[in-house]
Amino acid sequence: MTLASSLVLLSGIAVLWRHSLAAYIRAFARQSFLIVVAMVLVAAQTGDERLYLVAALVFLIKVVLIPNVLQRVQRHVGADLEIHPYVNTPASLVITGALTLLSYGVALPVTALGSLPTRGGIPLALATVFVGLFILVSRKSALSQIIGFLILENGIALLAVLATFGVPLIVELGVFLDVLLGVLVMQVFVYRIRETFDTVDVDRLKKLRH
């Protein structure tokens, strides 16, 4: 379980050191798949059938559907490299290390108090949330920002599974719908940005066109 969570975090970090957007999308799909694995493991441990259903839905939406949508966007927009992020790669990696330490520090009381078998993964899930947030603020391309948002969301989903063995099904469904619609709306936005400004680099949006 801890292993699955650390792999989730690692595929989040993979985004920070790769440059191509296709690799970002693959890393996100891999991360979602690892979350499915973690969910199935938790479900097998607790014997909760609804968690299997949630895991199946996550697989359908986050491993198959969203990466496909993103790949189509990426092909259509024709942006394939995140060239100059606000923070360069080595600095990002160091910052990620600091964020991970921070989340361990924050989660220390929780892991010390709790007696859950899954408590080893909680700081890692928290760190995934932080890494997602960091990608969101440090990358320029609109597509990588979407990926950052999705990684953040993955971290929250993992945290929910590890800390509470899954939230009620209706909440989970609401979140899925939210994420799916969010991605679709953002897809439209990316197209619009691209049409208007001829780029998906959000740094350029500061200037008015004329």
Partner 1 sequence: MIPWLLEGLQCLLTLLLAPGLIGFVRLLKARLQGRRGAPLVQPYRDLAKLLDKERVVSTQASWIFHAAPFVVFASTLVASLLIPLVAAPLPFDRVGDLIVVVYLLLLGSFFLALAGLDTASPFGGMGASREMTIAALAEPTIALAIFGMGAGAGSTNLGEIVARTLAHPGSTLGSGHLMAFAALFIVMLAECGRLPVDNPATHLELTMIHEAMILEYSGPYLALVEWAAQMKFFLFLALLSNLVCPWGVAVALRPGTLGLAVAALVLKLAVLAAGIAVLETRLAKLRLFRVPELLGVSFLLALLAITSSFLVR
SS3 201: strand
What φ, ψ does residue 140 adopt, rounded to 5°?
Answer: -95, -40
Selected binder of partner 1 within 44, 56, 64, 101 (CB under 8 A): 101
d(CA 36, CA 158): 9
For residue 101 the two structure tokens come to 């330490």
Cα–Cα distances in angstroms (integers) from residue 50 to residues 35, 136, 153, 175, in the given order: 16, 32, 20, 15
Q: Within 123-142, which residues bind partner 1 (CB under 8 A)?
A: 123-124
Exactly one of 17, 52, 86, 189 binds partner 1 (CB under 8 A); that residue is: 17
Q: Is 52 among the residues that bind partner 1 (CB under 8 A)?
A: no
Specify the residue, 108 or 181, whose C-beta has the smaller distance to partner 1: 108
Task: Report d(CA 148, CA 129) in Å as an integer.
Answer: 9
**Cβ burial 33-63 (10 Å sphere, 16+ → b, else e):** bbbbbbbbbbbeeeeeeebeebbebbbebbb
Contacting residue, 26, 48, 53, 120, with partner 1 by CB under 8 A: 120
State the minimum distance, in angstroms, from the CB of residue 133 to partner 1.
17
Q: Is 111 in the site for partner 1 (CB under 8 A)?
A: yes
Given 56, 108, 181, 184, the residue binding partner 1 (CB under 8 A) = 108
When asked if residue 96 is in the footprint of partner 1 (CB under 8 A), the reply is: yes
Is 30 one of the binding residues for partner 1 (CB under 8 A)?
no
Q: Name which of 101 and 181 has its Cβ closer to partner 1.
A: 101
Total of chain residues touching partner 1, rule CB under 8 A: 23
| Sole window of 1-9, 27-35, 146-154, 196-204 interacting with partner 1 (rule: CB under 8 A) | 1-9
Site of tokens 């493991």: 41
Q: Does 110 bind partner 1 (CB under 8 A)?
A: no
SS3 content of the chain, % helix, strand, coil (to 5): 80, 0, 15
Using CB under 8 A as the binding rule, whether residue 81 contacts partner 1 is answered as no
φ and ψ at residue 199, rounded to 5 degrees: -160, 160
Residue closer to partner 1 (CB basis): 38 or 190: 38
